[in-house]
Structure 1
């Protein structure tokens, strides 16, 4: 099942995606307009949602919003793909010896086709296609073998990063990862049951049609189940929390090939869809 948040003449709504058509499910009893709010009950609502016959729209007729616009936590893991860690090492960045997590402040979250700001204060805007994992239920101390059971589903994220604020101007990654608009995600939530193996998905990122990143999720150093187990030792994970699980090699930092105003960045992951964002000057 694929569920989107979208904006139409009726306001912000939730919809079921079927073959390019979005069916409004917001009036289904127990659903409403917040995906985060219904995640713990999604399994019990599934049959009703799949049978719903609400107002229908072509996808081109609506504006897709971030599937989860209000996560309590948006966390990312650094240098978690083997090839990416090697390119970072070659650029003089030490490879971490354990999972290295950072916050992306939730104010950075925008929709899958929103414009992305090139900051006034930096020329080092970088891109990172990442598999986004959305937590489906409150959990703590999750065993690796049980971790898939707490996943609601997946989406495409682009972990835009401002490199000079990431590596030089702040002792943590948080500031360089949290500029406004630098957390596009979507295009919708694909529920876990739709994906046979999230550890073997093709992913690609292009800038103006030129492929910059290409890889598969099986290149992760710590897979998504190990990530959930690690984090849940420290904190309670909540429905709607988003985990950005690492990026393949090919980012702009090692070559200085950073994004410029007018660039169009397209990120796609097998089975999950595409997000595409144009870089504009910060207003």
Structure 2
């Protein structure tokens, strides 16, 4: 597995399980992670071949892998169990929505809850996100790996009481600052990797509150890329967060973690 990351001070990195090197050591023209995304679908350079010594991950402080994300898509009700929890019927097409880039924050957050008089029931949701690597349009499911840069863990938030008042308030309920925590790295697997058994877990204060596997999604990550490419042009840095196995109410002082088998984890504290 290769990884793209960005230090807390903004230096883009290329890594593997042995450690990281500055991205510019392998790709001299790359000044950001976004610059390397088009290379990812075809496979990234081995960090061991870069003219720089690898630094162990534990010695790096990582910020958001995409400090300048493109379009941020969310997918609702993509697991049957979560739809049942919300007393909703699962849609027969992806139920997608946009989040503004200003909603994005990096590892550690913090997740900032809105004032209680605006919302007093916010939920946190672990999700697997797929990141687009190449500009594309009308991509088939079979071609999706040719445009996918990789995958990362994210934490998505919903002001659930706002949404429950009226489903047309979805954008507002999802768009508060810090309402999506992007992972500390982008995992770039081999093309064609079987995602079926990858488990997604929502963890709050050390307790797993929801879990499910990609195979139980109504629409797989590759299907979601293909579906949205039929609607609009997708570009490097666009993020599709593929839905959650379950949401958990959060309060100031809580600690939230999204765990994704094989692809890592991201966590953040909750404040108001």
Paired with 2:222 and 2:27, the residues of 1 have a C-alpha distance of 33
Q: Is the counterpart of residue 209 in structure 1 residue 167 in structure 2? A: no
Counterpart in 2 of 1:47? 45
Structure 1, 227-236 or 11-20: larger mean CA deviation: 11-20
- 1:138 deviates by 0.7
- 1:45 deviates by 8.0
Counterpart in 2 of 1:37? 35
Paired with 1:180 and 1:270, the residues of 2 have a C-alpha distance of 27
Q: Is the counterpart of residue 145 in structure 1 residue 142 in structure 2? A: yes
- 1:17 deviates by 3.0
Paired with 1:232 and 1:78, the residues of 2 have a C-alpha distance of 18
Structure 1, 40-49 or 15-24: larger mean CA deviation: 40-49
- 1:59 deviates by 3.5
Counterpart in 2 of 1:97? 92
RMSD: 2.2
1:43-70 deviation digits (Å, cap 9, x = unpaired): 6783365511436544344331211221
Q: How many correspondences in the alignment?
A: 269
Give TM-score, length-normalised by structure 1: 0.87
Counterpart in 1 of 2:7? 6
Counterpart in 1 of 2:108? 113
1:144-182 deviation digits (Å, cap 9, x = unpaired): 221222111000011111112333267242221111111
1:55-97 deviation digits (Å, cap 9, x = unpaired): 65443443312112212201011000111112122xxx44333
Structure 1, 44-53 or 225-234: larger mean CA deviation: 44-53
Change (3 A) 1:205 1:195: farther
Change (3 A) 1:238 1:273: same
1:162–1:176 Cα contact (<8 Å) kept: yes
Change (3 A) 1:84 1:49: same
- 1:113 deviates by 2.2
Change (3 A) 1:279 1:97: same
- 3-state SS of 2:178 partner: coil
Matches within 5 A, 1:239-254: 239-249=236-246, 251-252=247-248
Gaps of 5+ in 1: 253-257
Paired with 1:224 and 1:48, the residues of 2 have a C-alpha distance of 26
Counterpart in 1 of 2:258? 267
- 1:108 deviates by 1.3
2:145–2:191 Cα contact (<8 Å) kept: no
- 1:39 deviates by 1.2
1:226-282 deviation digits (Å, cap 9, x = unpaired): 212211111001011000011113x23xxxxx211110011110111111110011x
Counterpart in 2 of 1:87? 85
Counterpart in 2 of 1:155? 152
Counterpart in 2 of 1:23? 21
Paired with 1:43 and 1:206, the residues of 2 have a C-alpha distance of 30
Paired with 1:147 and 1:42, the residues of 2 have a C-alpha distance of 13
Counterpart in 2 of 1:63? 61
1:112–1:275 Cα contact (<8 Å) kept: yes
Paired with 2:144 and 2:191, the residues of 1 have a C-alpha distance of 17
Change (3 A) 1:170 1:26: farther
